[in-house]
Amino acid sequence: MATKASRSAARLMMAPAVILLLGWMLVPLTMTLWFSFRKYLPLRGGDLGWAGFDNYTRFVTSSAFWPSVMATLTVVGGVLIITVCLGVLLAILLDQPMWGQGVVRILVIAPFFVMPTVSALVWKNMFMDPTNGLFAHLFKFFGAEPIAWLSQASMPSIIMIVSWQWLPFATLILLTAIQSLDSEQLEASEIDGAPPLKRFWFIILPHLGRAITVVILIQTIFLLSIFAEIFVTTGGAFGTKTLTYLIFQRVLESQNIGLGSAGGVYAIILANIVAIFLMRIVGKNLDN
């Protein structure tokens, strides 16, 4: 697009998409901001006028606020660590030539296509059920006492379920990155006297740096808003109430739209803080 005419034509043609996306973002954002300053109780009188910063102070001073922020960060952090570490290992494994490679790769990617609600229910009922679950049977087989996963180890359970869903994504991106590694670099390092572990550390891992960055960025955005997995398993109990879930409870269970909206604004701020940090740490990785 070199000429002036083609540039303005391009702007004109992009305009509908830009306007649509902008509206899509701006309308809910403005409405959230609007409601967050209103005292709005749908079942108890509806819109009851301005509330000032009441909703904001009530939301943060609630005893559920800080635990929910911590729960959110724990889930995001835990899932990121598990998916990136296992993703790198799985990518290396899948990169090896082996029999039935195509089928294995499809199987590895499959969990990503299962809806969050469905996969959480499958985990809850088929694996983690304390009497009939596979894990319970496994524990009993080895003579151990089955644990009630979702109440006794609720946070690890949630992290496990979400990691299972996101591992394929990480693996897929890391696999394509590993495949783009020039094999001559590995051979050169082999001749240079680097044993396999050092080849991984000095050659493969730095090569994957950018892909790991992308995985972390994209996953963080989606993990900050996980909801279905918590809704169908613990229902926010046993310390698994994330910020998203807290907002949901405020709006629907307490029927307080104003308070929930204020929470939504906090969530936006939290997401942006996390994003800025990530961009700082990770942005360096993306240039060069």
Instruction: Report in angstroms how near the CB of residue 288 gets to another protein at its nearest.
Output: 7
Q: For residue 114, with 0-12 CB atoms within 10 Å meaning exposed, 13-18 middle and 19 or more buried, which class applies?
A: middle
Q: For residue 278, with 0-12 CB atoms within 10 Å meaning exposed, 13-18 middle and 19 or more buried, which class applies?
A: middle
Instruction: Report in angstroms how near the CB of residue 213 gets to another protein at its nearest.
Output: 13
- Classified as helix, coil or strand, 21 is helix
Instruction: Report in angstroms how near the CB of residue 84 gets to another protein at its nearest.
Output: 18
Is the alpha carbon torsion for 124, 127, 128, 133 positive or negative?
Answer: positive
Of 208 and 247, which has the nearer Cβ to another protein?
A: 208
Of 213 and 255, which has the nearer Cβ to another protein?
A: 213
Instruction: Report in angstroms how near the CB of residue 183 gets to another protein at its nearest.
Output: 9
Instruction: Show the tokens assigned to 199.
Output: 């080849």
Of 54 and 95, which has the nearer Cβ to another protein?
A: 95
Distance CA 138, CA 183 (A): 42
Instruction: Show the tokens assigned to 33.
Output: 């901001």
Instruction: Report in angstroms how near the CB of residue 88 gets to another protein at its nearest.
Output: 16
Of 190 and 253, which has the nearer Cβ to another protein?
A: 190
Binding site for another protein (CB under 8 A): 182, 184-185, 187-194, 198, 202-203, 206-207, 209, 288
Name the helix (H) or strand (E) containing 5.
helix 4-36
Of 175 and 203, which has the nearer Cβ to another protein?
A: 203
